[in-house]
A and B are shown apart, each in its own frame.
Chain A
Amino acid sequence: MQEKIANIKTKALEEINNANNAKELDEVRVKYLGKKGELTLILRSMGGLSPEERPIIGSLVNAVRDELEEKIKQGENRFAELEIQSKLENENIDVTMPSKKTQLGSIHPITQIIKDVEEIFIGMGYEIADGPEVELAIYNFDKLNTPPDHPARDVQDTFYITDDIVLRSQTSPVQARVMETQKPPIKIICPGTVYRSDSVDATHSPVFHQIEGLVIDKNISMADLKGTLAMFAKKCLGEKTEIRFRPHHFPFTEPSAEADVSCFVCGGKGCKVCKGEGWIELLGCGMVHPNVLKNCGIDPEEYSGFAFGFGVERIAMAKFGIDDMRLLYENDIRFLKQF
């Protein structure tokens, strides 16, 4: 009996080894381990054995069955693996074929600069303010210490709707509106469209964009202004950017300054963009004129503040290397997609 079992084992193992595929392997399994399989039949015939023999033969058959089952499983796994491999070989593709991606659009370079600037100032605790583009002359001029005789009010510079209503020539009227409606502390920037009576050419446009900043609180100083702008310049134009203040004059600030930044193209060595100077004029700024504070209902004895403003187009052109302002408004998709 034991010999018979050993023969079955040898035969079965040989057949398992010789099986060429999963199907043949399964046939082997049925032949030996199935309901009517050779090994199963031996187990069933154990009733005819003596009580002494039964446990010995029983455990022997079980051991052989376990071994065969294990071998069959190994074989099955091997065939499954082979099958996957052959499938993979058949599914080989050309990965260099074009993709099915969505063509991305783009944000206009002017908006990109505005968004960059907004992000920097939001990080410093500023809010973004907004105001009308068709504006009362009072806000565009009078409240900003620009009386009716002032040259800035000339028809050559400003678009008039009526004598008292203009297209805002600067974003500064937003300052006046915010000061009138909000109590200090005020920390805002106001990006926006402004209008001046200039014909379109490579460096001029009747419609362009400005970003204005305003801070009003107790004990705000000109050194705070310089510190704020120095930080802004580094974040917007690069960590190595230096800032320089020069005295200047604006009706709505006193003291006033023009701020230059070290040329972010050549790093201050002198190039075409900075006209060999190493510095680029960035913006106008200063301490809010006491008259402006008074005009907007803020007590200049208690509060002080600073304001600054700059043209977005100039920065966009310098930063992206755009040599003609008209490109910004022609909206050729081949231009837009570069940003």
Chain B
Amino acid sequence: MKASIEWLKEYTDIDVTAKQLADILTMTGSKVETIEEQGNEIQNVVVGKILEIKPHQDSDHLVVTKVDVKDEVLQIVTGANNIHEGDIVPIAKNGSTLPGGVEIKTGKLRGIDSCGMMCSVGELGLDINNYPNQIENGIMILDPKMECEVGKDIKEVLKINQVILDFEITPNRPDCLSIEGLGREVSVSLNKPFKAPRKNIDKMNVENKENIDGLTVKITAPDLCYRYIARVVKNVKIAPSPEWMIKRLNACGVRSINNIVDITNYVMLEMGQPMHAFDINSIEGKHITVRRASKGEKIITLDNQERVLTENMLVIADNKKPVAIAGVMGGQNSEIENNTQTVVFESAVFNGGSIRKTAKAVGLRTEASSRYEKGLSPENAIRAVNRAVELVELLGAGEAVEGKVDVYPTKQKVNKIPLNVAKINNLIGTNLTKEQMIEILEKLEMKIEENMVIPPYFREDVEQLADVAEEVLRFYGYDKLGTTLINAETTLGGKNKQQKILDDISKFLVNIGLSEICTFGFLSEKDLAKCNITGDNIYLKEAIEIQNPLSEDYNLMKTTSVPSMMQMLANNNNYKNKNVKLFDLSRIYQNKDQAIQKGELPLESNILTLGMYSEEEDFYTLKGIVENILEISGIAKFDIKKEKNNSMYHPGRCANFNVGNDTVATFGEANPLLTKNYEITQRVLLAEINIDKITKYARKNKKYVSITKFPAIERDIAMVVNEDIEVGEIEKIIQRKAKKSLEEAKLFDVYRNEKLGQNKKSVAYSLKFRVPDRTLKDEEINGIMKEIIAELEKTLGAELRR
């Protein structure tokens, strides 16, 4: 919302600079975004009176003039041909500046001294459209009726010395989308009296009639239209508006059209109530109905666009057709024309939400709709229409017809809020007296009756005590608010189990050289396809679709974190970064059991994803990192199982770590199809670790086990087995047979050669036995070793090497 200080001064005295005013208003809640000072570039341009015009002796098209600028009479040579002796014109004196950095200096024109320049509208940086009586290629001739005594600064005369503040108005304050509302805020903020220049309007009592001049009104959608008032003006003379009105409209960023249309805009800016004016002759049957549009109904709006309406939209209609989209824009069929004789002024209040949706649906967010959507006061509507009629008479633009048609099905509610001084002080942390609070509230035109706060009609946002507290605080001063510390029950605070585990894990990963990345929760079917996920794959089936995605690349929610990790590795590969090791902590979202379709939330899991390509790392480095992560989390026991069916991974180089029935981690080499699709030439290592499941199994309570004093017995065992036997199977047998006395089984050698035969390998373990309470005897260990060997031979066909 833009407002000129000149206009605001109509409401209260302003004796501070624009910058000070902006700062003060910002601190009371009307945030000033910018301060625009018009006419800054125009310096030393004054009003001059042409005393004489004589021909130039050496030129046919130049003339030599004498101009009175009060202090002196200047000789000015000009080529203008629209000037006459006695004309009053803007004179740029010697040493003056004009918009665009133009400097005017005394000089000679065809040998004759010229001590300045007469200015055109354009040379003063003004829009010719706003000066209908001026010509584009001539000197601006000032109207002697204006206050334009000779020698006066042209900026004052033309009111281009305006300072315009641009406010950011919060949506709860539609009253501040008006000069009047802002004027009130300025007066309270500066602690100056509010001049209430519209007092006469408030007192005006216009008789309510069924019809005026045959015009009748009916509301068939009272849920969407709370009040509709019409007044009629006869013998209308469409003409340009006076300059003072144009100036004010311009300052607010509104262009002048003609007196009647300008009056509607002026009233909207002044009072915050959008107005509409239309030609009564375009109203078929002179009967206005405020109704829902029928589906597919069409209207051509004032901007010459055809709009197709739906039954959710409200229209102003005559007996046959809609003449306006209510609260959004008028129709071309009822537009004010130059020959319009009788005008209907509409001042209505509609349901804010409905107007907002309609404006969005037809793609027209207008000055009117943006006010309506915040919810306007029906009590203000009557003031606005009366003000419009008053302006018509002031401008001599027509004659008001007596009476109004006022359909007001839903009266505006009056809020009454008990003034609980202690509660307000408690809530905001102040120590104000009741009198101090009442003083502030009364300045804001709130009434205090029987200890109840009654906000004025234009403050519908003040509904309960918290709102009253905010008003008190605004004018007590947010900056005076103390800074106290909470005086309440002590809380311990801290991180929970999962948060602590995550801290430990991320510290570990950073220490071994991994960098954390940040990824989006979106993906697309294309991304999944690049990761070899197609068809019936669960990652595709459980993906949640966004109704209104930014693009097709972002239309699904992540069911796996692998595609985004691959993409980030690919980015780094493109940048030619070497040895890239990344981790990502993000969520996946799985639509389990059609949860979304049942109105329930999907399963969200926290997944830690590792991704790397590097000369130095292989599957077993990755396996070690994942094992370390489990150890750090306090998971001591987990099983490893080869995973051949996860299509994102290399079928021969992928495994799961399982705890109980849960897979807590999947890791391995990326399927070469992925590296090819993402154009990475090295092998990529990937791991997905389910942090929620890790947290479930994590045990952090540690207990000391006494360190045994008894010696260990060590035995080595080497065997030849078939190539497809996994060492994990050998280890399991060793552990099962050795039972509790086995302290450690360490693989120390695996080799293959011709002597062993094809598809054979030699595997050697070093076993360490120890029990806590005594020294083991050789015979015991011999027995255990025999059992282990027998079992290895039996189950795995191992041949012992002696």
Contact = CB atoms under 8 A, between A and B. Distances in A.
Interface of A: 102-108, 110-111, 118, 121-128, 132-136, 148-149, 151, 154-155, 159-162, 164-165, 167, 185, 187, 193, 195, 197, 199, 206-207, 215, 217-224, 226-228, 230-231, 243-249, 254-257, 287, 289-290, 304, 328-334, 336-337
Interface of B: 26-29, 31, 170-173, 352-353, 356-357, 360, 373, 426-430, 464-467, 469-470, 473-474, 478-479, 481-496, 499, 506, 509-522, 544-550, 554, 557, 568, 571-572, 575, 577, 579-583, 585-587, 589, 596, 599, 601-602, 604
A151 B571 contact: no
14 contacts: A106-B515, A107-B506, A110-B518, A135-B601, A148-B353, A151-B373, A161-B544, A161-B547, A193-B521, A206-B550, A247-B27, A247-B478, A249-B172, A336-B516
B510 A105 contact: yes
Nearest to B477: A245
A127 B491 contact: yes
Nearest to B430: A223
B636 to A, nearest CB: 25
A192 B717 CA distance: 54
Given A219-B488, A223-B483, A231-B485, A102 B511 contact: yes
B356 A245 contact: no
B481 A223 contact: yes
Contacts of B579: 103
A133 B514 CA distance: 26
A122 B481 contact: no
A206 B485 contact: no
Contact of A105 (B488, B494, B514): B514
A125 B356 contact: no
A122 B604 contact: no
Given A245-B478, A287-B466, A226 B580 contact: no
Given A126-B493, A219-B487, A290-B466, A167 B546 contact: yes
Contacts of B496: 127-128
Given A151-B171, A256-B470, A333-B515, 16 more contacts: A102-B512, A102-B513, A105-B583, A111-B506, A133-B604, A135-B601, A148-B353, A151-B373, A162-B599, A219-B426, A222-B429, A227-B486, A243-B483, A246-B27, A287-B428, A330-B571
B604 A132 contact: yes
Contact of B481 (A121, A124, A195, A226): A226
Contacts of B550: 197, 199, 206
A185 B521 contact: no
Nearest to B545: A161
Report the 6 A-B pairs with minimum CB-CB distance, sorted nearest first.
A223-B429, A149-B353, A221-B429, A247-B29, A255-B470, A249-B170
A221 B484 contact: yes
Contact of B482 (A164, A227, A244): A227
B426 A304 contact: yes
Nearest to A164: B599
Contact of A334 (B26, B470, B521, B575): B575
Given A102-B511, A102-B513, A330-B571, A255 B428 contact: yes
B356 A149 contact: yes
A266 B47 CA distance: 47
A125 B493 CA distance: 4
Interface centre among B428, B486, B495, B602 (most CB of A within 10 A): B486
B520 to A, nearest CB: 5
A285 to B, nearest CB: 11
Contacts of A154: 360
Contacts of B599: 162, 164-165
Contact of B474 (A121, A127, A247): A247
A165 to B, nearest CB: 6
B418 to A, nearest CB: 12
Contacts of A330: 571
A245 B487 contact: no
A245 B429 CA distance: 14
A197 B347 CA distance: 36
A247 B470 contact: yes
Given A104-B513, A155-B548, A332-B575, A207 B481 contact: no
A332 B577 contact: yes
B594 to A, nearest CB: 12
Contacts of A304: 426-427
A334 B577 contact: yes
B572 A222 contact: no
A165 B469 CA distance: 35
Nearest to B28: A247
A257 B478 contact: yes
A106 to B, nearest CB: 5
A223 B482 contact: yes
Contacts of A110: 518
Given A154-B360, A164-B599, A255-B473, A331 B488 contact: no
A332 B574 CA distance: 10
Given A197-B550, A333-B580, A245 B479 contact: yes
A159 B571 CA distance: 27
Contact of B464 (A107, A290, A331): A290
Contacts of A228: 485-486
Contacts of A328: 518
Nearest to A222: B428
Given A149-B353, A215-B486, A334-B577, A159 B546 contact: yes
Nearest to A193: B521
Contacts of A155: 547-548
Nearest to A199: B550
Contacts of B483: 223, 226-227, 230, 243
A104 to B, nearest CB: 6
A337 B515 CA distance: 7
B480 to A, nearest CB: 10
Contacts of B521: 133, 167, 193, 195, 207
Contacts of A148: 353
A224 to B, nearest CB: 5
Nearest to B26: A246
Nearest to A226: B483
Contacts of A244: 479
A104 B495 CA distance: 25
